[in-house]
Amino acid sequence: MKSYKLIIFDWDGTLMDSAAKIIKCMQLAAERCDAPIPTPEDVGGIIGISLRPAIQTLFQLTDDQRTDQLVDAYKAVFIEQDQIPSPLFDGAADMLAALKANGKTLAVATGKARRGLDRAWANTNTRQYFTYSRTADDAESKPSADMIIQLLTESGVAPHETVMIGDTTFDMQMARDAGIDRIGVSYGVHAALHLEAFDPQTIVRDIDELKRWLLPT
């Protein structure tokens, strides 16, 4: 197992158990806009990329006005549903604390908006663990490598000392294209079979296994 200086996490589906909420909100937004109701599998396929391109892909849209309508509806529904915040996966907070205590530099690369990440940090009391972050407001959408390239530039950490951890092929592709190692998690929205196509260093089944991999004894 390799020791990394900079550890970049995806958020939804990797640290936070939010897939069910995202699916519900997307379906409610579609209902409000009289759009076809997407299946959970279809929504799962676009979780991880930024909201606007995700909605365009999910609903096969080219019309900007219709896209804006669904984007606005999703944002409104999500805020309404945010009265009960999504939980972190079991053990995630303890893992982040242990990584920080062991001198690791932590970052987030997420398709969430900056406001959404700030809200998630506040709800989970995890802001203090992360030195750097990139959101949909700061960089090109996954699977572009832009988020990782920006994080490498800001942190000054070399690619060979960096790893990306995520639950989607978008995470794996952007890490591969940025020239850094990648770890897939199979408890998120994309199956291990699809993650394996991007030659990750490993695929873990839960947070405990991820922690053991990042902090070998």
List the beta strands (DSSP E) in 162-207: 162-166, 181-185, 202-204
CB 138 within 8 A of CB 150: yes
CB 111 within 8 A of CB 48: yes
Active site residue 10: yes
Nearest Cα to Cα of residue 192 among 214, 209, 208, 169: 169
At position 114, the amino acid (one-letter code) is R
Nearest Cα to Cα of residue 23 among 67, 63, 58, 57: 58
CB 179 within 8 A of CB 159: yes
Active site residue 82: no
51: Cβ–Cβ under 8 A, 6 or more apart, which residues?
71, 74, 75, 111, 113, 136
Residues with a catalytic annotation lie at 10, 12
